[in-house]
Amino acid sequence: MNVRLYIWQRGTALLLLPLLLLHLAVIFYATRKGLSAADILARTRGSVAWALYYGVFVAAISVHASIGVRTILAEWMPLPARMVNPAAILFGLLLAVLGIRAIAAVVLP
Amino acid sequence: MSLLAHRTSPLWIAALIHRLSGLGLAIFLPFHFLALGLAISGEARLENFLRWTDQPLVKLSETLLVGLLAVHMLGGLRLLMLENFAWRGGQAWLALSAIAAAAVIAFLFLASMF
């Protein structure tokens, strides 16, 4: 991992810490009486705050996870070196696209 | 000394747990986003999926995922502290504490669902 990727990895980790704490709290809160689509969507639909929160979350996690996956591909997988960066970028883009789609699904009215 | 002797070190095991938990979360994330994306087709589709997740085996899998999330977060916090502050001592103890705390969080999550 070069310095630029190291800084992005650790920077997104720092950003993700408070987001994850809130996410864990929401998981405990939302599941205490069983998850329901109505409860989830009542909380998120039309909410700019949740859209911003999950937007930052998806952006940070797409970067963080793709750099982590890149390291694993480089160190553990018999993948040609020239394939490592494209595979990691593709994974990051997949997470970003699916994440934005998920946010749109739960936030848009 | 064997070339693999370092693999019995608590901090090597902590690094392995950090990597494996990150890998597990990375594999889970696309499915998590796809599940939430079901709401695009309407509340009923998401609700149907959520009722499927009521199965005990799915609940146990969710508990494992909460444990992975907690251990990766707390292990990552230890790494950030180690790299950015002059705090070098007691790292094996801190790593073990992170794993224990994650196990407690996962157990509390499991208990909260029943």
Q: pLDDT tens-digit profile of B53-82?
A: 999 999 999 999 999 999 999 999 999 999
Mean of pLDDT over chain B: 92
Mean of pLDDT over chain A: 94
Cα separation, B65 vs B31, in Å, equals 12
**Are the CB atoms for A81 and A107 separated by under 8 Å?**
no
Q: Which DSSP category does B106 fall into?
A: H
Identify all chain B residues contacting A17, using CB atoms and an 8 Å cutoff.
73, 76-77, 80
Chain A residues bordering chain B (beta-carbon distance below 8 Å): 10, 13-14, 16-17, 20-21, 23-24, 27-28, 31-32, 34-38, 40-41, 61, 65, 68-69, 72, 91, 94-95, 98-99, 101-102, 104-106
Question: Cβ atoms within 10 A of the Cβ of B44, count?
Answer: 11
pLDDT grade for A1, boundaries at 50, 70 and 90: confident
Q: Any idea what the Cα angle at residue B67 is, between residues A9 and B35, rounded to 5°?
A: 80
Cα separation, B27 vs B11, in Å, equals 24
Chain B residues bordering chain A (beta-carbon distance below 8 Å): 19, 22-23, 25-26, 29-30, 32-40, 43-44, 46-47, 50, 53-54, 66, 69-70, 73, 76-77, 79-80, 83, 105, 108-109, 112-113
Q: What pLDDT is stored for residue A34 in this prediction?
A: 82
Q: pLDDT tens-digit profile of A69-108?
A: 999 999 998 888 899 999 999 999 999 999 999 999 999 9
pTM for the full predicted model: 0.91
Identify all chain A residues contacting B25, using CB atoms and an 8 Å cutoff.
65
Cα separation, B15 vs B57, in Å, equals 28
Cα separation, B29 vs A84, in Å, equals 20
From the CA of B17, how many Å to the nearest CA of chain A? 13
Which domains does chain A possess?
A: 3-107 (1.20.1300)
| Residue A37 to residues A106, B56, B63, Cα–Cα distance (Å) | 9, 19, 20
Q: pLDDT tens-digit profile of B2-28?
A: 777 777 788 899 999 999 999 999 999
What average pLDDT does range A36-62 have in this prediction?
A: 96
Mutate to test the interface with B, among A15, A54, A98 (most CBs of B within 10 A): A98
